[in-house]
Amino acid sequence: MSFQNKFFASPVRLLAPMDGLTDPLMRQILTQIAVDLGRPYDWSVSEFIRVTQHVLPAHVFYKYVPELHHDAKTASGTPIHIQLLGSEAQLMAENAAYACELGAPAIDINFGCPAKTVNSHRGGSVLLDEPEVLYQIISAVRQAVPANIPVSAKIRLGYTDTSRMDDIQAAIAASGANWLTIHARTKTQGYKPPAYWDKIHAFNSLDIPVIANGEIWNAEQAQACMQQSGTKHLMLGRGAVTRPDLIAEVRKLDLELPQTDSMSTPELSWQTLITHQIKFLQGTAKSDVVLVGRYKQWLGMLTKGYSEAQPLWNALKREKNKAAIITALEATSL
């Protein structure tokens, strides 16, 4: 069976890799919500694992992707692909092969990261200005990884501008990548709206599936993105954290079900979401301080998706004690 038939028989809906945001705990919560709503993600991708000098030890892979202990799936059964970031083709290939030995179901390669430290070491989006290196990395990884395991790339439209798009496309075509995800902005455009979905269109001449990503916060934007990019495959980023039921709204488009006014009648009620917030706070993290910080980051984002989140945010933004936050959340669900 070809990858195309196995992975893309119908339009795919993916949860984006987001370093420090869709960590294993958040992935567990968001993929569980999607499954509970009967509209699961097809897969998600791990936060990037940075490859610099050697083949990383197993514990590093397990730290970023604890799902490897469970057939590389979240508790709700959603597969997690492993993302690597680096500039050294041979080293990337060796790490990818090792990740596969540990159970990675697919390898994704990051060419989108805008971080200064990463870019100054010639990793992430800066490589969009060096399509030949892009080609070398993907093709080395493709050759090193067992033939039955797909290798994909995630790119932006360019580094400072879109002038190298044709070269990037040629590099991807020659590299043997099995699919391509495109965040429809350059590195310079950062994370600010708009996303230039129409620019993705040119990549559809590749004979591999193309996944569109960027600035999808509701079903209308998902629809517009599909129309303008000319691809049916979508990856949801910050919108999926802000509205954990966005996946259900987007899946309704596939089923051609009527849309609801998501603010007034959400697929996922605030009360149910409270129970997930409590589960999040009961999850595993380096420390309670880290967990509380991560929770507040999420609650801050939820204020953009749920009007009920604002009073909670006002009440909890200065609270540092995890138990007190859980008590406050439990009180709202009485």
Residue 249: both structure tokens together: 């709204």
Instruction: Give least dist CB 260 to ligand FMN, A.
Output: 21
- Answer yes or no: are the C-beta atoms of 329 and 311 closer than 8 Å: no
Burial of residue 272 (CB within 10 Å: 0-12, 13-18, 19+) is middle
Query: Cβ of 159: how many Cβ atoms within 10 Å?
Result: 22
User: What letter represents residue 254's amino acid?
Assistant: D
Q: Does 194 bind ligand FMN (CB under 6 A)?
A: no
Given 215, 245, 249, 267, the residue binding ligand FMN (CB under 6 A): 215
Given 40, 79, 158, 239, the residue binding ligand FMN (CB under 6 A): 239
Given 7, 14, 15, 17, the residue binding ligand FMN (CB under 6 A): 17
Q: Does 12 bind ligand FMN (CB under 6 A)?
A: no
Alpha-helical regions (H) of 114-263: 116-120, 131-144, 165-175, 219-229, 238-242, 246-254
Q: Does 112 bind ligand FMN (CB under 6 A)?
A: yes
Binding string, residues 218-237; x marks residues near ligand FMN by CB under 6 A: ------------------xx
Instruction: State yes or no: is 113 an active-site residue.
Output: yes
User: Could you give the CA distance from residue 171 to residue 127 in angstroms, rounded to a whole number?
Assistant: 11
Q: Please, how many CA atoms are within 13 Å of residue 286, restricted to the half-sphere of its CB?
A: 8
Question: Of 278 and 304, which has the nearer Cβ to ligand FMN?
Answer: 304
Q: Does 249 bind ligand FMN (CB under 6 A)?
A: no
Burial of residue 208 (CB within 10 Å: 0-12, 13-18, 19+) is buried
Question: Of 157 and 329, which has the nearer Cβ to ligand FMN?
Answer: 157
Which range in 64-72, 94-102, 208-216, 255-263 contacts ligand FMN by CB under 6 A?
208-216
- Answer yes or no: are the C-beta atoms of 309 and 273 closer than 8 Å: no
Binding string, residues 254-293; x marks residues near ligand FMN by CB under 6 A: ----------------------------------------
User: Could you give the CA distance from residue 282 to residue 114 in angstroms, rounded to a whole number?
Assistant: 32
User: Could you give the CA distance from residue 154 to residue 111 in angstroms, rounded to a whole number?
Assistant: 6
Instruction: Give least dist CB 333 to ligand FMN, A.
Output: 28
Residues 153-192 close enough to bind ligand FMN by CB under 6 A = 154, 183, 191
User: What letter represents residue 291's amino acid?
Assistant: L
Q: Does 81 bind ligand FMN (CB under 6 A)?
A: no
Q: Does 216 bind ligand FMN (CB under 6 A)?
A: yes
Residue whose C-beta lies closest to ligand FMN: 237
Given 15, 16, 26, 329, the residue binding ligand FMN (CB under 6 A): 16
Q: What is the DSSP letter of 87?
A: S
Binding string, residues 30-49; x marks residues near ligand FMN by CB under 6 A: -----------------xx-
Given 6, 10, 20, 310, the residue binding ligand FMN (CB under 6 A): 20
- Answer yes or no: are the C-beta atoms of 233 and 8 closer than 8 Å: yes
> How many helices, marked H, and strands, marked E, lie in the chain?
14, 9
User: What letter represents residue 121's amino acid?
Assistant: H
Residues of this chain that bind ligand FMN (CB under 6 A): 16-21, 47-48, 83, 110, 112, 154, 183, 191, 213-216, 236-239
* Catalytically annotated residues: 113
